Amino acid sequence: MKHLLSTENLSIQDAIGILDTAEEMATVGDREVKKLPALRGRTVVNLFFEDSTRTRISFEAAAKRLSADVINFAAKGSSVSKGESLKDTAQTLAAMGADAVVIRHWASGAPHRLAATDWIDAAIINAGDGTHEHPTQALLDAFTMRRHWSKLNGTASTGSALKGMRVAIAGDVLHSRVARSNVWLLRTLGADVTLVAPPTLLPIGVESWPCKVSYDLDSTLEAGVDAMMMLRVQGERMNASFFPSTREYSRRWGFDDTRLKALDELGLKDTIIMHPGPMNRGLEISSSAADSPRSTVLDQVRNGVSVRMAALYLLLSGDSREAAPSLSSAPSSSKENN
């Protein structure tokens, strides 16, 4: 694996390999000194053309825990706002010796373009491209689900997949790269996925996706759900009115206090509630749901660092690159790139 652009074409071996490596990485986060020398001398650039809190600092923490040098590049305040092209930006980063570029871009396909051209010979990680994909978010979600699922089933979490787990993903699927990446990855891992949304917030062609589709959150819950993932209503990507009112949205599609109570009444005592953040409290999720013991929101953030460490480690120490670093020792000092 040279790049991590999408979950659609990620094999089950690669997916489980990342999740298992992330389990190893998680042990670093529990240590007093949260650092490994594995990527010493490597340079990771965080290239963010869109706002981000969690994803950017998560990648920064991940790269630093592996001892890489990190350069944070935000498009605002850079020459990009003077009209510099993606090509010129990429070539500049190549000239500075970037070994990995973590890119978030408002245009779907931007990371693929970087990976396909010869502008830069670095590992490219997609940190969210438009409404298309967000593979590391899906991987951290799967990691969080796998821990829960294996604990429930009394099985080891490494090596296993999510066979039989019922996952519902509800809300603004139309604008959500998180939903897309999750559907592909969860299919690969064997989970049973249902998308729940108003018809106006479902993309054209959703019938061909490897999942079920429902317009009714309550009946989906009644059918039984092991992980309930709520999506943010992405106001910034909406140029029209997709639902009558926020009140109506939260009543029909939000995970509110009534639905939180319904989980107990339905005997779904082990169902977890997930959200990638940032949350619109009171819209797609109520505060009591977000803060309840069922909520994995903060676990997802914590697990994100382990999963991104795993992705960076596997990409930068892969067979295609010289000087493969090992988990316990420092890499060779020679740097072949650029």
Q: Which residues bind ligand NCD (CB under 6 A)?
A: 54-55, 128, 134, 137, 177-178, 232, 234, 276-277
Q: Which is nearer to ligand NCD, 15 or 178 (CB)?
A: 178
Closest contact distance (angstroms) between CB of 178 and ligand NCD is 5
Q: Which is nearer to ligand NCD, 137 or 296 (CB)?
A: 137
Closest contact distance (angstroms) between CB of 287 and ligand NCD is 17
- Report the C-alpha gap between 266 and 150 in whole angstroms: 22
Closest contact distance (angstroms) between CB of 176 and ligand NCD is 7
Q: Which is nearer to ligand NCD, 166 or 177 (CB)?
A: 177
Residue nearest to ligand NCD (CB): 232
Q: Which is nearer to ligand NCD, 137 or 317 (CB)?
A: 137
Closest contact distance (angstroms) between CB of 187 and ligand NCD is 19
Q: Which is nearer to ligand NCD, 136 or 220 (CB)?
A: 136
Closest contact distance (angstroms) between CB of 230 and ligand NCD is 10
Closest contact distance (angstroms) between CB of 137 and ligand NCD is 5
Q: Which is nearer to ligand NCD, 96 or 298 (CB)?
A: 298
- Report the C-alpha gap between 252 and 290 in whole angstroms: 17
- Report the C-alpha gap between 102 and 105 in whole angstroms: 10
Identify the bridge partners of residue 309 per DSSP, sorted by sequence position. Answer: none
> Cβ atoms within 10 A of the Cβ of 198, count?
18
Q: Which is nearer to ligand NCD, 38 or 186 (CB)?
A: 186
Q: Which is nearer to ligand NCD, 99 or 141 (CB)?
A: 141
Closest contact distance (angstroms) between CB of 204 and ligand NCD is 20
Helices 12-29 and 177-188 pack at an angle, to 10 degrees, of 110
Closest contact distance (angstroms) between CB of 95 and ligand NCD is 29
Q: Which is nearer to ligand NCD, 36 or 309 (CB)?
A: 309
Contact assessment for residue 121 and residue 98, using Cβ atoms and an 8 Å cutoff: no
Cα angle 329-142-230, degrees, rounded to a multiple of 5 = 135
Closest contact distance (angstroms) between CB of 27 and ligand NCD is 24
